Structure 1
Amino acid sequence: MAPNIEQSAFFAHKSPDRIVRDPPKFDLEAYISNYEGHTRLDRLYFIGTTSTYLSVEAMHMAIAEAKQGKDTQRYLKLTEDFSEIAPEDPLANTDMAWVEQKTRELKAEQERLEHELKAYKNNLIKESIRMGNEDLGHFYYACGDFPASLKAYQKTREHCATARQISDLTLRLVYVSIAQKSWTGANSHLSKLSAQSLKTDEIAKQDAIIPACRGLAQMGMHNYAAAAKCFLATPPSYMTVDSVANIKWQKEVLSANDVAVYGALCALATMDRSEIQEHVLSNNDFRNYLELEPHLRRAISLFCSSKYSACLEVLEGYRTDYLLDIYLAPILRELYGEIRTKCIVQYFIPFSCVTLDEMAEKFKISGEGESIEKELLEMIGSGVLNARIDLVDRLLISPPINPRYTIHFDALAMAEQYDHTLRLRLTRINLMNAGLELRQNKGELVQGSSGTIGEGIGASLRGLKTSMGF
């Protein structure tokens, strides 16, 4: 069925770089069982409109899921797109009777909630007003109207009376912002959570949620280094945390597998080998997440062992899976590009020259019209790789370095810094000997003759500068 699906009207008008034709390694039913609510429907729709291999199965599950909820607009969008993908499928026909009935029910429910809120406002009962706005926020969220939901939740702030209510409200705002993919808003609301004064058990649950959500927000804003730190700081308790603010965060926002994948990829893209060894492989907390994705642990171990081509090969094997992830797909090309660039740079460090044929064999390029020479030229031009290309002998050459000059330059810089520190300390001693009052600093006072030390350092610097030609 895949060839027919690929030739359907929907995929014919879709950009080729946004179509995934290869089958993924995961089983769709097992994969989607990790999610509930809006994110489950959102992920099914994304897979159904991206993967030609899983399109029909994902759309079947998405349409069935939509009919169990209140988002009629999403159901209409699903059937409209599915009618272009598989027009002969029975589920491609819109169930207008269900849509009309559900619309009437939703209109009646909305009128009831608004009428109750109006009555609460007339009675001036703060707790009832807060709950009325909260119920409206829940209703709008279930209907897929996220801006109206966010507005309703924000109206409850002035009626919150306890720290717990403010915390739950802020978490709800984070929840809706993530659903909207408003990463700046989500990060802003997360920053307000740290100042809340809650009970010990409530703080523990909240502290487990904040790093994972902040990592997702940073990753969405392309701040991969900050995202890696947040994901790596997510405690293992996130995997067992129950509902907080009536939200199942591990089911409705990020699963433990997502934390492992996002954290590992962001770390590989931004950290060097020593940092990865210290903060990823030696991180006992994050190790619990890596056990859920053993191939990523293998890729990280290969990177730390300087087996860069094997590391890239492992990651390429899961490219299709990550292209079907709703948060990874838009940034995967950038992430993989940064990881590949780091591998090339690290591989070349020990060598004075490497043949281009060997580089092409180690770091294979799959894109049409691409070559290792073009990639290396871009890296050299951007200053990422300090090297030159000899197209005659087909060599990648490291520029010559004068070790003697480097050692002398470093020694001179160290001597100047030492001289500056000594002069400051000697000045302090002279001021104290003159009877002036000074504030006590943490640094220890230097004992000795100011003339002898100053003359010795000055002479050493003058001799070193003369020998280097400065």
Structure 2
Amino acid sequence: MAQDAAESPFFKKQRSEGNLVVKDPPKFDLESYISNYDGQTRLDRLRHIGSHSPYLAVDAYRIAITEAKQGKNPDLYVTLATEFEQIAPNDPLASIDTAWAEAKTKQLDSEQDKLEHELKSYKNNLIKESIRMGNEDMGHHFYARGDWSNAHKAYIRMREHCTSNKHLADMTLRLVFVSIAQKAWLTVQANVAKVDAAQVKGDDKTKLDPLISACTGLAHMSLSNFHDAAVSFTTTSSAFLTAEPAAGIKWQREVLSANDVAVYGGLCALASMDRSELQEQVLNNNDFRNFLELEPHIRRAMNLFCSSKYSACLEILEGYRNDYLLDVYLSKVLGTIYGRIRTKSIVQYFIPFSCVTLDEMASKFQLTGDYPTIEDELESMINDGTLNARIDLVDRLLISPPTNPRYQVHADALAMAEKYDHTLRLRLTRLNMIAAGMEIRQEKKSNQFGESVPSFGDGLGAGLRGIGSKMGF
């Protein structure tokens, strides 16, 4: 079945357009994996898996089509069925149920007319709370239909009718939710900042903090800001694991799960942090340790990197490459993340050596397909300034640039001698001034806060004037 799917018109078109096609099966079980999600992200992830993995395409599309037909998005159902028809044309689910799609569209249009009529009557009565809830219902309706743009507009119209900080925070969280569905990451960042700035206090603030950190990390990662993403994910409180729904949204199931936080945070940290940062901010982080327990291979990879066992770390990550390529958010940046981790590993591995054979480098760092030979990869790193070394193709050596330790020792000694000479002259000047009965006093002034602070310039000037008068100037 997987072979038939791989040779289907759909995947032939994917390959011809240069889109990602994952040939090998992943490690995860599809049903167990997708059971962690609900709502739009569940369908989005199923479609991503089905359209990129010939091995799981049939199962993923079957589940997605069945669930889409139970929802309120007939356009998505038609799209899924059309794609599935190109993969498995003989499957019963591949034939589009046009009667259902037309009936569902009419039903949704009728619901929309009803909601618009109710909202209009609320506006005529000038009841702020009713208007706010009417716009919220409109936003929910458009979101369920997959009309992200109109959903975003409906939620924004709630702003002027919010009567409390809690209402304002819930409205902004809804905007974050829709923006994530649109994958509009700059909008996500802007709205997350507004949620964070909202004057929500007490238990409500405690509940929001882990959600804000996780969503901020997701936006940073999707924009390739890996260090900022790592900081956001690793500072996500373990309360995220048991957080209650906020703004009516189960964020752990409708956006990203705790396993996702562990994987995203761990990979971003490996790509952007050095060994000391990894140890202090990630592995010794009590909150993030609770997430890492859900994905022990990520913790094992970080421990190996901190222990300078780079090839073993890369081997673990390569074993999960197919799984991560089938993640709807991680797939777009995985190549960059893995490339940075590999580059860091090569640089750190080479630091203690004056020279290493190219064969040894090739055996330690197995090629991943980005470069035909290890020489090409090392040459690229040297050219862009990442690796400070030279390649000897005759003896097949990677050589560290020569250094002159005697010159450095002499330079340090001369600098130290000049520093001691300067310090000694200052001390002799002070002793001579004391012996001559001269003194430099510090006059005090008041700063803008009314605090008295020393004024070194005025004190020095007064002291010099005193010296001049004693010497007859």
TM-score, normalised on structure 1?
Answer: 0.89
Partner of 1:440: 453
Aligned to 1:396, the other structure's residue is in SS state strand
Partner of 1:13: 13
1:286 alignment partner AA: F
The 1:134–1:433 alpha-carbon spacing in structure 2 relative to 1, beyond 3 Å, is: same
Work out the CA distance in 1 between the residues paired with 2:419 and 2:239.
47
For 1:161, the aligned partner's letter is: T
Task: Rate the CA distance shift 1:77–1:294 in 2: closer, same or farther, 3 A.
Answer: same
Deviation at 1:218, TM superposition (A): 0.4
CA distance in 2 between partners of 1:418 and 1:251 (Å): 65
Cα drift, residue 283 of structure 1 = 0.9
CA separation of 1:405 and 1:21: change in aligned 2, threshold 3 A: same
Give the whole-Å Cα distance in 1 for the aligned partners of 2:414 and 2:82: 72
Q: Are 1:385 and 2:398 matched, yes or no?
A: no
Structure 1 residues 420 and 256: alpha-carbon distance in aligned structure 2, compared to 1, 3 A threshold: farther
Q: Is the 8 A contact 2:155 2:171 kept in 1?
A: yes
Counterpart CA distance in 2 for 1:365 and 1:380 is 17
Mapped pair 1:291 → 2:308: no
Q: Secondary structure at the match of 2:236?
A: coil
Partner of 1:371: 373
Q: Closer, same or farther in 2 for the Cα pair 1:134/1:403, shift >3 Å?
A: same
**Equivalent in the alignment of 1:466:** none
Paired AA for residue 118 in structure 2: E
Aligned partners of 2:455 and 2:317: how far apart in 1? 50
Task: Pick closer, same or farther for the CA change 1:183–1:424 going to 2, 3 Å.
Answer: farther
CA–CA distance in 2 between the matches of 1:408 and 1:224? 41
Q: Which residues of 2 match residues 117-196 of structure 1 at below 5 A?
A: 117-196=119-198
Q: Specify whether residues 181 and 411 from structure 1 end up closer, same or farther in structure 2 by C-alpha distance, changes over 3 A only.
A: farther
Q: Deviations over 1:87-132 (max 9, x none)?
A: 1111000011110110111000000000001111111111111111
What is the aligned partner in structure 2 of residue 456 from structure 1?
A: none
- State how far apart, in whole Å, the 1-side matches of 2:72 and 2:310 are: 49
Distance across 2 between alignment mates of 1:108 and 1:421: 87
Q: Measure the CA separation in 1 of the matches of 2:348 and 2:393.
A: 22
Question: Which moved further from structure 2: 251-260 or 432-441?
Answer: 432-441
Cα distance in structure 1, aligned partners of 2:8 and 2:205? 51
Shift of 1:194: 2.0
Q: State the Cα distance separating 1:404 from its structure 2 match.
A: 3.5
Say which is worse superposed, 70-79 or 9-18, in terms of deviation: 9-18
Is the Cα–Cα contact under 8 Å of residues 74 and 145 in structure 2 kept in the other structure? Answer: yes
Any residues of structure 2 matched to 1:306-345 within 5 Å, and which? 306-345=308-347
> Could you tell me how far apart the structure 2 residues matched to 1:422 and 1:123 are?
86
Look up the match of 1:79.
Answer: 81
1:61 counterpart (60, 63, 71): 63
Deviation at 1:197, TM superposition (A): 2.2
The one-letter amino acid of 1:201's match is D
Q: Identity of paired residues, percent?
A: 60
Q: Measure how far apart 1:437 and its partner are.
A: 3.5
Tell me how far 1:200 sits from its aligned partner: 1.1
* Corresponding residue for residue 469 of structure 2: none
1:440 CA displacement: 2.7
2:453 alignment partner, SS class: coil
Q: Could you tell me which amino acid in structure 1 is paired with residue 453 of structure 2?
A: Q
**Unpaired segments ≥5 residues, structure 1:** 444-449, 451-470
Cα deviation for residue 412 of structure 1 reads 6.6
Distance 1:263 1:440 in 2: 47
Q: Return closer, same or farther for 1:437/1:285 CA change in 2, 3 Å cut-off.
A: same
Deviation at 1:199, TM superposition (A): 3.8
Three-state SS of the structure 1 residue aligned to 2:356 is strand
- For residues 385-439 of structure 1, the C-alpha deviation after alignment (integer angstroms, 9 at most, x for no partner) is 0000000000000001122433455667788899999999999x99992564356
CA deviation vs aligned residue, 1:198-238 (integer Å, no higher than 9, x gap): 24111110011111000000011110000000000001000
Compared with structure 1, are the counterparts of its residues 37 and 422 closer, same or farther at alpha carbon in structure 2 (3 Å cutoff)? farther
Distance 1:115 1:406, change over 3 A: farther
One-letter amino acid of the counterpart of residue 405, structure 2:
P
Q: Deviations over 1:247-271 (max 9, x none)?
A: 0000001100000000000000011
The letter of the residue matching 1:7 is E
Aligned to 2:46: 44
Query: Relative to structure 2, which stretch is displaced further, 417-426 or 241-250?
Result: 417-426
Check if 1:70 corresponds to 2:72. Answer: yes
Q: Identify if the C-alpha distance between structure 1 residues 434 and 303 changes in structure 2 by more than 3 Å, giving closer, same or farther.
A: closer
The two structures, once aligned, show a CA RMSD in angstroms of 2.7
**Aligned partner letter, 1:94:** I
Aligned partners of 2:442 and 2:454 also within 8 Å: no
Contact 2:229 2:268 in 1 (8 A): yes
Paired residue type of 1:276: L
Aligned partner letter, 2:373:
S
Question: 1:69 is paired with a residue of what secondary structure?
Answer: coil
Distance 1:341 1:415, change over 3 A: farther
TM-score by length of structure 2 reads 0.89
Indicate the larger mover: 340-349 or 416-425. 416-425
Distance 2:455 2:204 in 1: 41
